[in-house]
Amino acid sequence: MTTILRNVVVDCRDPVSLAGFWAAALGWAIEPIDDATRARLEIERGVDALHERITLIGPASSPRLYFQRVDDPTPGKNRLHLDLEVDDADEEATRLQALGAHDVTRIVETLGGAEERWIVLRDPEGNVFCIQTAGSPQFP
């Protein structure tokens, strides 16, 4: 039996806004919601389906990012976060801040004799994620 990671689900207050941030950050596309699904969600939940859930589609080998609206806030630090590998972490941090990321923290650690560097940011709803320059030692 083969197991495939299909979705990474992000609970959020505003799926439209947060999916827009991540679509721009990753260069991924928003998956359209078909009319039947939209109608069913609007009947079941009484709201516009586009404000309830949005899915981003990336490269074929990547899981989808699925943003779903929840009313309750996430208390404290999220227990799961995304790690992104980029060409230039400093340049990418600046770009992501212009899109709405905040709370930039630069980390440098020496593990096993190798220096590792990464940048920790928060997306517009406060979810933590990290970026690291491609070719650097792996994330801890």
Contacts for 18 with CB less than 8 Å, ≥ 6 apart: 10, 12, 67, 123, 124, 125
- Supply the pTM of this predicted model: 0.82
Mean pLDDT taken over the chain: 86
Residue located via tokens 């080998």: 61
Q: Reply yes or no on whether the pLDDT at 140 is more than 90.
A: no
Residue located via tokens 């212009």: 98
Pick the CATH number of 77-140 from 3.10.180.10, 3.40.50.300, 3.40.190.10, 1.20.1630.10: 3.10.180.10
Residue ranges, comma separated, of all CATH 3.10.180.10 domains in the chain are: 1-73, 77-140
The predicted-structure confidence for 82-92, as pLDDT tens digits, reads as follows 999 999 999 99
The predicted-structure confidence for 39-81, as pLDDT tens digits, reads as follows 777 777 666 666 778 899 999 989 999 999 888 877 777 788 9
Q: How confident is the model at residue 122 (pLDDT cuts 50, 70, 90)?
A: very high
Could you tell me which residues are beta bridge partners of residue 128?
122
Tell which CATH architecture fits domain 1-73. Roll (3.10)
Q: Identify the pLDDT of residue 67.
A: 93
